[in-house]
Amino acid sequence: MQSDFLDASERHWQDAEQLFQSQRWANADHLFGIAAECGLKKLMLVFGMPFDESKDMPKRDKDKKHINVIWARYETYRSGLHQGTAYGLELADPFQDWNASQRYANQNLFDQARVEPHRKGAKSVRQLIRKAQLDGLI
Protein backbone atom coordinates (compact mmCIF):
# COMPACT_ATOMS: atom_id res chain seq x y z
CA MET A 1 0.00 0.00 0.00
CA GLN A 2 1.13 3.52 -0.70
CA SER A 3 1.97 5.74 2.27
CA ASP A 4 -0.35 8.67 2.88
CA PHE A 5 1.04 10.47 5.90
CA LEU A 6 -1.64 13.15 5.81
CA ASP A 7 -4.55 10.73 5.85
CA ALA A 8 -2.83 8.50 8.41
CA SER A 9 -2.22 11.44 10.71
CA GLU A 10 -5.86 12.49 10.63
CA ARG A 11 -7.16 8.93 11.03
CA HIS A 12 -4.92 8.18 14.00
CA TRP A 13 -5.80 11.53 15.60
CA GLN A 14 -9.54 10.83 15.33
CA ASP A 15 -9.18 7.35 16.80
CA ALA A 16 -6.91 8.61 19.57
CA GLU A 17 -9.45 11.28 20.49
CA GLN A 18 -12.27 8.72 20.69
CA LEU A 19 -10.14 6.47 22.86
CA PHE A 20 -9.09 9.43 25.03
CA GLN A 21 -12.73 10.42 25.58
CA SER A 22 -13.46 6.80 26.56
CA GLN A 23 -10.51 6.85 28.98
CA ARG A 24 -8.73 4.13 27.00
CA TRP A 25 -5.40 5.73 27.90
CA ALA A 26 -2.93 3.15 26.58
CA ASN A 27 -4.20 2.99 23.00
CA ALA A 28 -4.99 6.71 22.93
CA ASP A 29 -1.40 7.39 23.93
CA HIS A 30 -0.01 5.12 21.23
CA LEU A 31 -2.17 6.68 18.54
CA PHE A 32 -1.39 10.26 19.56
CA GLY A 33 2.26 9.41 18.98
CA ILE A 34 1.58 7.83 15.61
CA ALA A 35 -0.67 10.75 14.57
CA ALA A 36 2.05 13.26 15.41
CA GLU A 37 4.70 11.19 13.65
CA CYS A 38 2.66 10.93 10.45
CA GLY A 39 1.87 14.63 10.50
CA LEU A 40 5.50 15.62 10.90
CA LYS A 41 6.58 13.19 8.19
CA LYS A 42 4.08 14.83 5.82
CA LEU A 43 5.62 18.23 6.60
CA MET A 44 9.13 16.78 6.29
CA LEU A 45 8.23 15.66 2.78
CA VAL A 46 7.05 19.19 1.98
CA PHE A 47 10.34 20.54 3.32
CA GLY A 48 12.46 18.16 1.26
CA MET A 49 12.79 14.82 3.05
CA PRO A 50 14.13 12.32 0.49
CA PHE A 51 11.59 9.56 -0.12
CA ASP A 52 12.11 6.28 -1.96
CA GLU A 53 8.94 5.83 -4.01
CA SER A 54 9.84 2.27 -5.02
CA LYS A 55 10.20 1.19 -1.37
CA ASP A 56 7.47 3.56 -0.14
CA MET A 57 9.58 4.90 2.71
CA PRO A 58 11.99 7.67 3.59
CA LYS A 59 15.43 7.16 2.07
CA ARG A 60 17.41 7.99 5.18
CA ASP A 61 17.44 5.60 8.13
CA LYS A 62 17.24 8.62 10.46
CA ASP A 63 13.81 9.39 9.01
CA LYS A 64 12.46 5.84 9.39
CA LYS A 65 11.87 6.38 13.10
CA HIS A 66 8.94 7.05 15.40
CA ILE A 67 7.83 10.30 17.01
CA ASN A 68 10.28 10.09 19.92
CA VAL A 69 13.02 10.68 17.29
CA ILE A 70 11.07 12.42 14.52
CA TRP A 71 10.10 15.40 16.72
CA ALA A 72 13.73 16.56 16.75
CA ARG A 73 14.45 15.29 13.24
CA TYR A 74 11.70 17.52 11.83
CA GLU A 75 13.85 20.56 12.53
CA THR A 76 16.50 19.22 10.12
CA TYR A 77 14.10 19.80 7.24
CA ARG A 78 12.23 22.87 8.44
CA SER A 79 15.12 25.00 9.63
CA GLY A 80 16.98 26.99 7.05
CA LEU A 81 14.04 27.11 4.65
CA HIS A 82 12.25 30.41 4.13
CA GLN A 83 8.89 28.65 3.88
CA GLY A 84 9.68 26.64 7.01
CA THR A 85 10.09 29.63 9.32
CA ALA A 86 6.37 29.72 10.07
CA TYR A 87 6.24 26.02 10.93
CA GLY A 88 8.31 25.68 14.06
CA LEU A 89 7.30 23.38 16.87
CA GLU A 90 6.26 25.62 19.73
CA LEU A 91 6.44 22.92 22.40
CA ALA A 92 9.47 21.28 23.91
CA ASP A 93 9.48 17.65 22.81
CA PRO A 94 6.56 16.02 24.64
CA PHE A 95 7.37 12.59 23.17
CA GLN A 96 10.73 11.95 24.81
CA ASP A 97 9.07 9.39 27.07
CA TRP A 98 6.99 7.83 24.27
CA ASN A 99 8.15 4.64 22.59
CA ALA A 100 6.45 2.45 20.00
CA SER A 101 7.24 -0.61 22.12
CA GLN A 102 4.83 0.71 24.76
CA ARG A 103 2.09 -0.88 22.69
CA TYR A 104 3.09 -4.08 24.46
CA ALA A 105 2.87 -2.58 27.95
CA ASN A 106 0.12 -3.29 30.44
CA GLN A 107 -2.69 -0.75 30.08
CA ASN A 108 -2.67 -0.10 33.83
CA LEU A 109 0.61 1.78 33.35
CA PHE A 110 -1.22 4.55 31.47
CA ASP A 111 -3.37 7.33 32.85
CA GLN A 112 -4.64 10.71 31.73
CA ALA A 113 -1.63 12.54 33.20
CA ARG A 114 0.74 10.44 31.08
CA VAL A 115 -1.32 10.81 27.90
CA GLU A 116 -2.17 14.51 28.08
CA PRO A 117 1.27 15.84 27.00
CA HIS A 118 1.26 13.47 24.00
CA ARG A 119 -2.24 14.63 23.11
CA LYS A 120 -1.09 18.25 23.31
CA GLY A 121 1.93 17.46 21.11
CA ALA A 122 -0.21 15.70 18.52
CA LYS A 123 -2.64 18.61 18.56
CA SER A 124 0.18 21.08 17.89
CA VAL A 125 1.31 19.01 14.88
CA ARG A 126 -2.29 18.89 13.68
CA GLN A 127 -2.41 22.69 13.85
CA LEU A 128 0.76 22.92 11.74
CA ILE A 129 -0.82 20.62 9.17
CA ARG A 130 -3.94 22.80 9.05
CA LYS A 131 -1.77 25.89 8.60
CA ALA A 132 0.13 24.21 5.77
CA GLN A 133 -3.16 23.33 4.10
CA LEU A 134 -4.44 26.89 4.39
CA ASP A 135 -1.12 28.24 3.12
CA GLY A 136 -1.26 25.90 0.12
CA LEU A 137 1.85 23.88 1.04
CA ILE A 138 -0.23 20.71 1.24
Residues 53-93: tens digit of each pLDDT: 999 999 999 999 999 999 999 999 998 788 888 999 988 99
Residues 102-112: tens digit of each pLDDT: 999 999 999 99
Residues 2-38: tens digit of each pLDDT: 999 999 999 999 999 999 999 999 999 999 999 999 9
Q: What is the pLDDT of residue 73?
A: 96
Residue scoring higher pLDDT (81 or 42): 42
* pLDDT reading at 95 higher than 80: yes
Q: What is the pLDDT of residue 82?
A: 81
Kind and range of the H or E run holding 58: strand 57-58
Contacts of 56 by beta carbon, 8 Å cutoff, 6+ apart: 1, 2, 3
| Cβ(69)–Cβ(59) below 8 Å | no
Domains of the chain: 5-134 (1.20.120)
Q: What is the pLDDT of residue 113?
A: 98
Region 114-122 average pLDDT:
98
- Please provide the DSSP assignment of 13-36 as one string: HHHHHHHHHTT-HHHHHHHHHHHH
Q: pTM of the full predicted structure? A: 0.95
Pseudo-torsion of CA 87, 93, 96, 100, nearest 10°?
-30
Q: What is the pLDDT of residue 1?
A: 78
